[in-house]
Structures are given as structure tokens and as C-alpha cells.
Structure 1
Amino acid sequence: MIKTVIIEDEKPASRKLERMLNEFPEIEIVAKIESVEEGVQWFSENEHPQLIFSDIVLGDGLSFDIFEKVPTKGFIIYTTAFDQYTLKAFKLNSIDYLLKPILDEDLAGAIEKFKSFIPSDNSVNSQEIKELIKKEKSTLSRILVKIGYNLKIVQTHEVSCFFSENKIVYLQTQERTYPSDFTLDELEEVLDEKKFFRVNRQFIISSDFIKNIHTSPNYKVELEFQPQEEITVSRDRVKDFKDWLVS
């Protein structure tokens, strides 16, 4: 059995996640925690579980605070509706990041990813597993954007490019342009590097939406949906850009 803890301060969300996890016979929920204070106390007094599903924004702080005060050997799958915490979640002892509302297939995929790190003969030690996790870094698949007083989930496979303008980073889809809470540097760390490439200081583009590439006099990319007529590849990035195109 995989001993598992849920950290979630909203009771309906906690109950829903518990119901979803109960569909997996290998999962045994040993505790449900609702606050940073309760989490620090529980992890200080109990044997740590193998797997932790943790919301990030709790009533008395961020769940990151729990594991900064009481480091855990368990592996964390973060769940949240606030994508601006993605980067920090990836840098901590996490194996995946699920953006709410959690989909059944995403949950199943996260559990399978965890199980892939644990061999049946238990021959891999904790440090070796952590090295495997670094190699299997999760990538951002969905982004939460604000439209007035509403929120919308945008799948990254719908995004033709991310670009910076007047110190704000936007994402471009066929539908429209949306502002985001990320910087381009942060996006470089969490986007799928096989799909996205930083062509210059202002743009990260998606290979799925490249319509044309002009090579003279400079490398310029034309996308199916883009906010301006030309996107120039920086000279110092041209070689990496060509390698990326065929990788």
C-alpha cells in the first residue's frame, strides 16, 4: 500500500480528492491536514507517508512552509488553482503538479509517475529516487488566466507563443491574447523544452504553430497566431534553434 496524506483546507475539495484517490486500491490515506500549523505538528510527530497530495494556498499560509520547517522524505504532488506557484513547487521535492479542477486522467498519470520511481524490489534508495525525479521534471500543461473577474484555463498546447511587452508576459492563442503571472525566465524552466523555445529576450515560441522560417538576412519565424509580423531569432540562439527544430 502507498501511505498517502492529503493537505487541503477546503473540505469539499478534500472530500472530492479523497473520493478520487479511493478509486486506486493501492492508495491508503493515513491523514488529512487542513493548515500549515496542523501540518507541521503532524509531520513532526508521525512517520512520513510515501506520497503527499498538497494544496498550496492554505488558510494560515503556504504548504511550502510545512516542508521548509519539517523536511519530508515523502514525495509531493501539488494541487492548486494558482499557477503562479508552479515554479516553486517544481523546485521542491515534488514529482508532479495538478492544476485544479483536477482531472481523472491527470490524477492517474501523477500516481503512475510516482509508482514508476519505486521499483518492486525496493532496491533504489531515497537519494537515487530524487535523482530520477530531477531527470523526469514535470512540465506545465495548463495555465490559469484572468479575464476581468473570471478565470479561464488555457492548455499550453493551445499557445503559439509567450511574449513580453511593457514588463508583462502574455500568451497568444488562436482565440486571443492573455496576460500571465509568469516571467519568460520562469516559463523557460517549466515549459516542455521539446515544444517551446526561447528565440530571443522577448519571445518563447511553440513548434506546433510555426508556419514559415525565413533564413535571410536573419532567421525570422512566422507563426500561425502571433502578436506582431516578425519574430527574429537572436544570432546567439540560431544554432540552438536549428538543433531544437530537429530534436
Structure 2
Amino acid sequence: MAAEIQPKPLTRKPILLQRMEGSQEVVNMAVIVPKEEGVISVSEDRTVRVWLKRDSGQYWPSVYHAMPCGVTALCWDPVQRVLFSGSSDHSVIMWDIGGRKGTAIELQGHNDRVQALSYAQHTRQLISCGGDGGIVVWNMDVERQETPEWLDSDSCQKCDQPFFWNFKQMWDSKKIGLRQHHCRKCGKAVCGKCSSKRSSIPLMGFEFEVRVCDSCHEAITDEERAPTATFHDSKHNIVHVHFDATRGWLLTSGTDKVIKLWDMTPVVS
């Protein structure tokens, strides 16, 4: 009698759609671009890559941007089409992806590496958490300004005193060269005497006081110094967050092996 043939059990498994290679170090995070055939990734090799699907069906890094430091966290605003990245240099950067303007807005509000980001779309508030234990809630419903590029100069662009590497001007003027600084508001190269003041510039992302030249310090109004973020101490080194927008709850986990659940409605509203 012939043996009865048993049907093979159905097996279900994930289908690999793409394999994207090219990063030189560990990929810290990647997000799918909503409604687009695209992926954005960040890596320990300090790169931000935007992988777009080509006519061949393969994904290639159509946009490649090298960062001065390692990117540690990503978050996406699907409505404004803005990408937020946190990095080991304590900063958060807002990238205008959807507007295609190429703008990048800095947010400086941490004293340690930024390790987690979450975005409250309904209130347009960004939540950033870091190794300093800080939870920072940023108001993104304001018109922010790009920080200026730092200008190059051989002498102070305010008083014309030579910097210490400008040997010719030092010899001609019989003056000792000065150390170079930069005003965070105008970007000019200035000496310490012409930039003796410090100020917060929240609309430029500087919630903490930074060096500014004396003329910019006089021009900044009290209204312009009004903070655009609130700061809260979680009392643990946060490595991951999850925000439940329906209830306004934030879940944080830290290197201390502790999970904390927060009601963020007093500040995210």
C-alpha cells in the first residue's frame, strides 16, 4: 500500500524587500519616509543618508551628508516633513526635508549626548532626552532661524586687531595677536574684548547663554531672549523614549535599568 502523502505545514516568514549597504560603521537608527519610497539612516560613521528607490528597484543613498559628530537619534514629523536628529555633541538639528530648502536649524539644550527623540505632532512639540538625564520639550510652532556660518578673518571684524597667527599685521602694527572667537548671532570673527557678553538666543536654538559680540548683545531684546523650551530632570540616563500622544504619557528607559512613566500633559499641550 502506498504511503499517504502528508501536506507540508504552511510557514509564514518576513519577506526581505531591500538590503541597503554602504555605511562604514554601526547604523544607529533608520526611519521609513512616510508616503515615499525612501529611508533615512544615521551611523556611527557620522553620516546621514537618504536612500531613495531608483528605477532599477534598488535603494541608493541619493543624499549623503557627513556630520562633525555621531548621530544617535532620529525622529520624523510627517506633516511638516521635517527630520530631527540628535547627536553626541549634545545638539539636536531640525532638517527641512519636505520644503527642499536645505535648511538646518540647531537646538542646543543638553549638557550630554542626545540619546532619544519623540515628536508630539498634535502640539508641534519635540521631546529630546539625553545622557544628562534631561527631558527637554521644544516648542516647534515658532519661526526659528538658522545659525550663521562662522566667518574667516585674520583680524577682529570689529576692532581690526590682528589674531595671533597674523604675523604681518602684528609686525606692522607692533601689537600682540589676539585669540579668535565667533559671535553666535552674526557669525563674525571677533576678539575677546569685542565679545565679552553672553546671551541666550532661543529662536536660533541657543537656550543656554552663548558668546555674542557686543553690538549683537545690545540689539537682542528681552522678548528675543524668551525661552522656547522647558527643561526637566528625569534623574536617570535616558537611552530610549516612547510617547503616547493619545494620553500624553512618556515612557523613558535608562542605563540604570529603570523604566519611568510620565504624564506630560502639564507641559505637552
Under a length normalisation based on structure 2, what TM-score does the superposition of the two structures give?
0.25
Higher strand proportion: 2
Q: Which has the higher helix share?
A: 1
Q: Which protein has the larger Cα radius of gyration, Structure 1 or Structure 2?
A: 2
State TM-score, norm by structure 1. 0.27
